[in-house]
Amino acid sequence: MPRVKRGTVRRAKRKKLLKRAKGFYATKSKLYQAAQEAVDKALKYAYVGRRRKKRDFRRLWVVRINAGARLHGLTYGELISGLKAAGVGLDRKSLADLALDHPAAFEMLAKQAAAAKPTKSAKSAKPAKAAKATAQA
């Protein structure tokens, strides 16, 4: 089998990796093996961070919506279920933006949710429906 000389390919590969490691501490930006490990770990953290960011923003939106809802005498759960019952299809990002920047508009939504909020008697109708289904079987 003939000998393979990597030539410029090896240099280009290493140069590309060291470029990605630019700004890393000490040998992690100078030596190939240390830089390779640091870049791999950094890419792993970046991947995890992109997913974590979605969770963190959703948590922030929920906190903001809950704070706005409590100003109008509702809990977060009551507001969300009331809006769902009223047929309002706004997502949490939009609701959080309204709660923070447009309190008047959020107040209207809170009133809609309070009016359409499911009552306790509506919730107790579900077990009766389940009992009816078992009786038929």
CATH 1.10.1900.20 fits 54-118, yes or no: yes
Domain boundaries, the chain: 8-49, 54-118
Q: What is the pLDDT along the chain (137 residues), one digit of tens a residue?
A: 888 888 899 999 999 999 999 999 999 999 999 999 999 999 999 999 999 999 999 999 999 999 999 999 999 999 999 999 999 999 999 999 999 999 999 999 999 999 998 776 655 555 556 556 666 66
| C-beta of residue 85 within 8 angstroms of C-beta of residue 116 | yes
Q: Map tokens 């240099």 to a residue.
A: 11
What is the reported pTM? 0.73
The two tokens of residue 93 are: 């990002």
